């Protein structure tokens, strides 16, 4: 699985246009949900923050795998996003964002997350561990994070795991 | 999706093994399957190659998601007898999956065959592309994605599986199907063999990754010398077998069985893409002749990732076997008896309140869409 983190809120709103533009949020229910940046909770968190700040978030969609074109085709078959929606915020990994961009060429797709690296998950201990980080996050290798929030765990629970 | 490419040649793999090693092939059924390096098919190929070269393969383990440490532990627990004997484990999984296997089986020789090159996605043609490569690859982010063979060429990795280097020579036997002679692999599953020969045998309860159950009875065939009809999914191929796999009588019977299956579920709300709906269309059934009075049951939406609609469940048991065999969890099971039989999670709890790992093995195996991915859509009312 891939670990992605939500960008600071300021960086997300910098990418948005004026407050009248209709916005849809597409959130991934796969890896991104585990890492705490996607899923229904992640989408809701961002939706309410944006609405509170006066942005016009009209639609929220949670799709199983945003990185699968088949999954997005199914979404497009079932849900019709109106042409009034000009911006989509992607709460998925960069591969998911790329896939959404390819599928909605007429809309501005904003990547609201940053990829950290690959992880292993231990659902019994409710943590995930960063095993293969991208270069920028090499110093965070072997760190453990809480499932569902992505918050750093101070006391490591997965032992003996070589990164 | 995690993108990996093969880094080891078959000769290099053999150098890591001893002739007296007791080998288990560990194959992940998720991303690596789409990269054509994992899943049951590749595990079977590798097993054939190793056996042909005189190595002792004592087991194959197909795992729904290898990067889930708790699932890896479960598999170890469930097949303790095999893993106790094993001395080497060949891992057909990404590097994260490999780390999990190495952690759980720290007393064994665990062999990695891939290098993970980054993250990508599945294109509409079912092809995998690499979009976010790791920095060491020297490749930049690409929205449209890189084709995997191009990446392999650039990085000096292998774009395909081991059988591209050397085709395994399995022992073949002769069988006769509908009066014609064919050669198939000895000991293979008859349904698999017939499907690979191009016969369109209907089946709902069979999935190559899972143990056969012979529940739906749609794949019944006639075999010379056998009393009655036999389910092809539960029959092994033998030399000289004479089979009638298609014909008017079998078609009539399959249609009848299909109508009975339809009577068991609310077929009118089946997903268009489900396997059952495909068969209903293929056999031109508008309405079944049979009716089974069943109470409408509530839809279970307690899971974060999938929805369970018991009203379109045909009790084929694929989800139960997937949960036990691929995820190793055994969350799902049959409960009650006769016409009241149904699939329940743990002690008849909503699925979201159980220890379900959300690995989607059950959802991927459901032939009707009774288990389907959750798609949430909310409109903000201003």
Which of the four pLDDT bands, split at 50, 70 and 90, describes residue B273?
confident
Looking at residue B382, its pLDDT comes to 59
Cβ pair B380:A96 closer than 8 A: no
| Spatial distance between the Cα atoms of B1 and A75, rounded to a whole number of angstroms | 18
Interface test with B, best of A50, A76, A121 (most B CBs within 10 A): A121
Cβ pair A64:B144 closer than 8 A: no
User: What residue in B sits closest to A126 (Cα-Cα)?
Assistant: B70
The number of beta carbons lying within 10 Å of the beta carbon of residue A139 is: 8
pLDDT in tens, B197-242: 999 999 999 999 999 999 999 999 999 999 999 999 999 999 999 9
Angle at B246 between CA B242 and CA B252, to 5 degrees: 130
The DSSP letter of residue A99 is H
The number of beta carbons lying within 10 Å of the beta carbon of residue B268 is: 8
Judging contacts by C-beta atoms under 8 Å, the chain A residues touching residue B375 are: 61-64, 74-75, 78-79
Judging contacts by C-beta atoms under 8 Å, the chain A residues touching residue B360 are: 64
Task: Indicate if the pLDDT at residue B91 is higher than 60.
Answer: yes
User: What residue in B sits closest to A114 (Cα-Cα)?
Assistant: B132
Q: Please give the share of chain B, as a percent, with pLDDT higher than 70.
A: 99
The DSSP letter of residue B232 is G
pLDDT in tens, B95-114: 999 999 999 999 999 999 99
Cβ pair B373:A71 closer than 8 A: yes
User: What residue in B sits closest to A119 (Cα-Cα)?
Assistant: B96
pLDDT in tens, A96-125: 999 999 999 999 999 999 999 999 999 888
Side-chain half-sphere exposure of B164, counting CA atoms within 13 A: 9
Topology given in CATH for the domain delimited by A2-116: Rossmann fold (3.40.50)
Task: Indicate if the pLDDT at residue A158 is higher than 70.
Answer: no
Q: Please give the share of chain A, as a percent, with pLDDT higher than 90.
A: 77
Interface test with A, best of B3, B380, B382 (most A CBs within 10 A): B380
Please name the member of B106, B122, B141 whose beta carbon is closest to the beta carbon of A69: B122
**Using CB atoms within 10 A of its CB, is residue B41 exposed (0-12), middle (13-18) or buried (19+)?**
middle
Contact A100, B131 (CB under 8 A): no
| Spatial distance between the Cα atoms of B372 and B354, rounded to a whole number of angstroms | 18
Cβ pair A120:B377 closer than 8 A: no
Q: Which residues contact B97 (CB under 8 A, 6 or more apart)?
A: A120, B28, B32, B63, B66, B67, B91
Task: Indicate if the pLDDT at residue B293 is higher than 80.
Answer: no
Can you say whether the dihedral through the CA atoms of B201, B207, B209, B213 is positive or negative?
negative
| Spatial distance between the Cα atoms of B110 and B83, rounded to a whole number of angstroms | 12
Judging contacts by C-beta atoms under 8 Å, the chain B residues touching residue A61 are: 375-378
Residues B180-216: b if buried by 16+ CB within 10 A, e if exposed: eebebbeebbbbbbbbeeebebbbbbbbebbebbbbb
Cβ pair A132:B116 closer than 8 A: yes
Average pLDDT over residues B316-330: 96
A56-63, strands of its sheet edge to edge: A108-111, A85-91, A22-28, A56-63, B376-379
What mean pLDDT value characterizes chain A?
A: 91
Contact A116, A140 (CB under 8 A): yes
Q: Which residues contact B370 (CB under 8 A, 6 or more apart)?
A: B265, B308, B309, B310, B311, B312, B313, B314, B319
Q: Which residues contact B49 (CB under 8 A, 6 or more apart)?
A: B10, B162, B163, B166, B168
Average pLDDT over residues B169-173: 87
Cβ pair B379:A134 closer than 8 A: no
Q: What residues does each domain of chain A span?
A: 2-116
Looking at residue A163, its pLDDT comes to 40
| Spatial distance between the Cα atoms of B192 and A71, rounded to a whole number of angstroms | 28
Side-chain half-sphere exposure of A94, counting CA atoms within 13 A: 23
Average pLDDT over residues B266-272: 86
Cβ pair A68:B122 closer than 8 A: yes
Which of the four pLDDT bands, split at 50, 70 and 90, describes residue B123?
confident
Contact B185, B172 (CB under 8 A): yes
Which of the four pLDDT bands, split at 50, 70 and 90, describes residue A137?
very high
A137 interfacial to chain B (CB closer than 8 Å): no
Q: Please give the share of chain B, as a percent, with pLDDT higher than 90.
A: 86
| Spatial distance between the Cα atoms of B258 and B277, rounded to a whole number of angstroms | 10
Q: Which residues contact B372 (CB under 8 A, 6 or more apart)?
A: B271, B306, B307, B309, B363, B366
A156 interfacial to chain B (CB closer than 8 Å): no
Cβ pair A131:B95 closer than 8 A: yes
Angle at A57 between CA A53 and CA A60, to 5 degrees: 130
Average pLDDT over residues A69-92: 91
Our CA dihedral for B99, B100, B104, B107, rounded to 10 degrees, sits at -20
| Spatial distance between the Cα atoms of B315 and B205, rounded to a whole number of angstroms | 9
User: What residue in A sits closest to B103 (Cα-Cα)?
Assistant: A161
Q: What are phi and psi of A84, to 5 degrees?
A: -70, -25
What stretch of H or E contains B175? strand B172-177
With H, G, I as helix, E, B as strand and everything else as coil, classify residue A59: strand
Please name the member of A1, A29, A58 whose beta carbon is closest to the beta carbon of B96: A1
Residue B209: which of B360, B44, B24 has the closest Cα?
B44
| Spatial distance between the Cα atoms of A89 and A77, rounded to a whole number of angstroms | 20
**Using CB atoms within 10 A of its CB, is residue A74 exposed (0-12), middle (13-18) or buried (19+)?**
middle
Residue A113: which of A137, A133, A89, A144 has the closest Cα?
A89
Average pLDDT over residues A84-95: 95
State how far Cα B300 lies from the chain centre: 24
pLDDT in tens, B329-370: 999 999 999 888 999 999 999 999 999 999 999 999 999 999
State how far Cα B67 lies from the chain centre: 17
Task: Indicate if the pLDDT at residue A161 is higher than 60.
Answer: no
């Amino acid at each position: 699985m891939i670990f992605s983190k939500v960008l600071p809120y300021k960086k997300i709103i910098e990418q948005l246009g004026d407050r009248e533009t209709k916005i849809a949020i597409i959130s991934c229910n796969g890896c991104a949900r585990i890492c705490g940046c996607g899923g229904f909770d992640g989408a809701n968190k961002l939706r309410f923050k944006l609405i509170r700040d006066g942005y016009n978030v009209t639609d929220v969609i949670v799709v199983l795998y945003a990185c699968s074109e088949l999954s997005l085709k199914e979404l497009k078959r079932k849900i019709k996003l109106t042409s009034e929606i000009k911006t989509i915020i992607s709460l998925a990994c960069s591969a998911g964002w790329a896939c959404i961009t390819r599928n909605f060429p007429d809309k501005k797709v904003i990547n609201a997350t940053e990829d950290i690296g690959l992880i292993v998950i231990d659902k019994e201990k409710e943590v995930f561990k960063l095993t293969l980080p991208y270069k920028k996050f090499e110093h965070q290798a072997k760190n453990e994070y809480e499932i569902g929030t992505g918050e750093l765990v101070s006391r490591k629970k997965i032992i003996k795991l070589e990164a | 999706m995690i993108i990996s490419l093969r880094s080891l040649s078959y000769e290099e793999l053999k150098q890591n093994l001893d002739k007296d090693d007791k080998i288990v092939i560990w194959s992940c059924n998720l991303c690596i399957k789409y990269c054509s390096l994992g899943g049951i098919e590749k595990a079977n190929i590798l097993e054939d190659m190793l056996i042909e070269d005189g190595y002792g393969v004592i087991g194959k383990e197909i795992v729904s998601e290898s990067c889930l440490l708790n699932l890896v532990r479960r598999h170890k627990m469930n097949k303790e007898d095999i893993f106790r004997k094993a001395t080497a484990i060949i891992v057909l999984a990404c590097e994260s999956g490999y780390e999990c296997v190495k952690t759980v089986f720290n007393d064994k020789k665990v062999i990695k065959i891939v290098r993970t090159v980054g993250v990508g996605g599945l294109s509409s043609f079912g092809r995998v592309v690499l979009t976010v490569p790791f920095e060491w690859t020297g490749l930049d982010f690409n929205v449209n994605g890189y084709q995997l063979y191009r990446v392999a060429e650039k990085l000096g990795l292998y774009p395909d599986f081991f059988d591209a280097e050397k085709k395994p020579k399995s022992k073949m036997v002769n069988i006769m199907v509908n009066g014609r002679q064919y050669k198939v692999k000895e000991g293979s599953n008859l349904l698999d063999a017939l499907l690979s020969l191009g016969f369109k045998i209907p089946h709902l309860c069979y999935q190559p990754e899972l143990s056969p159950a012979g529940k739906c009875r749609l794949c019944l065939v006639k075999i010379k010398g056998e009393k009655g009809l036999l389910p092809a999914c539960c029959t092994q191929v033998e030399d000289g077998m004479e089979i009638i796999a298609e014909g008017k009588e079998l078609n009539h019977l399959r249609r009848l069985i299909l109508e009975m299956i339809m009577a068991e579920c609310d077929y009118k709300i089946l997903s268009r893409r489900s396997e059952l709906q495909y068969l209903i269309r293929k056999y031109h059934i508008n309405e079944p002749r049979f009716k089974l009075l069943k109470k409408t049951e509530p839809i279970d939406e307690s899971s974060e990732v999938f929805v369970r609609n018991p009203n379109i469940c045909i009790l084929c048991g694929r989800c139960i076997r997937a949960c036990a065999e691929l995820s190793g969890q055994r969350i799902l099971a049959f409960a009650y008896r006769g016409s009241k039989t149904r699939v329940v999670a743990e002690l008849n709890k909503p699925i979201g309140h159980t220890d379900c790992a959300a690995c989607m093995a059950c959802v991927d195996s459901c032939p009707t869409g009774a288990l389907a991915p959750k798609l949430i859509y909310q409109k903000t009312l201003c």
